[in-house]
A and B are shown apart, each in its own frame.
Chain A
Amino acid sequence: MPVTETFHDEATLTLTIVAEFAADPERVWDVYADPRQLETIWGPPTYPATVVDHSLDPGGRVTYFMTSPEGEKYCGLWEVVSADRPRRLEFRDYFADENFQVVESMPGSTCIYTFAPTETGTRATYESIFESADGLKTVLEMGVIEGSTGAINQVDELLARG
């Protein structure tokens, strides 16, 4: 399994995922530097992503939308804080309207990706820090929850936990 470790911090709404890839950091960085590669890995197959504008320079923007099975579009954008190829990428991920204007009422998240060389390739650390539980909830609604099954499973889990 490529994912080797995960850390959850409920107090700071932070999720950290550590993964090992059999490719060097330059190659892993290219997944993010090439919009066509980025859109193949960003959304689940049922919610394909389309990248519109793409600049990984500090202050640059990456705009994208995801299309639901019903044809609804969910727009988002990155504002690049810093980019140190191929080691570290930091950006703010926001929800956007269809004109790619940031939705101010919906808090976004800070994403810090680091890529370290290892004997066999790259250790990638993906850190996502959310400002509010609502922002986290909306990310999950964009593509993770299909219909209401996810929410129904949550009820069952809640019952099982009691």
Chain B
Amino acid sequence: MKVLLDDQADAVFQALADRTRRDIVRRVLVEALSVSELAAEYEMSFAAVQKHVAVLERAGLISKQRVGREQRAHAEVSSIRSVRDMLDELEGLWRSRVRRIDALLAGEGPTTLGRSEAADDNR
């Protein structure tokens, strides 16, 4: 199970304690980017951006993949989302599904609802 362990959590929080690194994570969540593409976005040296990417990589938040001649960084979504987060999200899915069931049942009108007519009239 991918539950964050304490050491890993320390590394994650340390890595995300920096504004530039948080920004890098947001960018590579959307698309895989090379270090040079990332470096073009910031007013700092290529080496400085490369260092930030290395910190994020060590924390397991991003990983690099070779595409042709260059390495592209992408976010490791699985390490960002813990089991607890995922159960929370699944609960969200179920809440909206239950709302759809409720709407479908209510949309039928009281005639097919049998003994729940009274409850419907009180709405």
Contacts and interface: CB of A to CB of B under 8 A. Distances in A.
B90 A128 contact: yes
A111 to B, nearest CB: 11
A147 B84 CA distance: 21
Determine chain A's interface SS by DSSP, over half rule: mixed
A120 B119 contact: yes
Nearest to B31: A148
Interface residues of A, number: 47
B119 A41 contact: no
Determine chain B's interface SS by DSSP, over half rule: helix
Interface string A126-162: 1010001110110110011101101110110111001
A42 interface: yes
Contacts of B5: none
Contact of B89 (A23, A121, A140, A148): A140
A101 interface: no
Interface string A12-31: 01010101011110011001
